[in-house]
């Protein structure tokens, strides 16, 4: 797998989903993220980071609750929100930062 910094340094939006396997709301986000990817295709990269397996990365980005979604472009954090979001909300955030 590529280094995280390489992934978020793309010139297209990269949505990072910090999640945990034991988290109920995180399980709700999975099909929503799939719909977003199906809708936007190659305009966005979506990656999932398990906070239990990547504690250093979660600490670096001060992840206090899951799910936490962070949108990056060219390595810069453009947007961040915790909790479950609906497909249309995510699409609007991504396309407004495209």
Walk me through the domains of the chain, giving residue ranges and CATH numbers. Answer: 7-96 (3.40.30.10)
Q: What is the pLDDT of residue 97?
A: 86
Contact 12, 43 (CB under 8 A): yes
How are beta strands 14-19 and 68-73 bridged, if at all? antiparallel
Q: Which of 7, 9, 23, 78 is catalytic?
A: 23
- Upstream peptide bond of 86 is cis (omega within 30 degrees of 0): no
List beta partners, residue 16.
47, 70
| pTM: predicted TM-score of the whole model, two decimal places | 0.95
Element (H, E) at 64: none
Q: Which residue is catalytic, options 20, 26, 63, 69? A: 26
**Is 92 assigned a catalytic role?**
no
pLDDT per residue as tens digits for the range 42-65:
999 999 999 999 999 999 999 999
Catalytic residue at 23?
yes
Has residue 39 got a pLDDT over 90? yes
Find the Cα–Cα–Cα–Cα dihedral 57, 62, 68, 70, rounded to 10°: -70
Alpha-helical regions (H) of the chain: 4-8, 24-40, 55-60, 87-96
């Amino acid at each position: 797998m590529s280094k995280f910094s390489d992934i978020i340094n793309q010139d297209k939006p990269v949505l990072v989903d910090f999640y945990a396997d034991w988290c109920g709301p995180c399980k709700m986000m999975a099909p929503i993220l799939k719909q977003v990817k199906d809708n936007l295709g190659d305009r966005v990269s979506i990656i999932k980071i398990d906070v239990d397996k990547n504690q250093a990365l979660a600490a670096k980005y001060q992840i206090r609750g899951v799910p936490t979604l962070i949108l990056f472009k060219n390595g810069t954090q453009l947007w961040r929100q915790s909790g479950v979001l609906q497909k249309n909300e995510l699409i609007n955030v991504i396309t407004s930062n495209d």
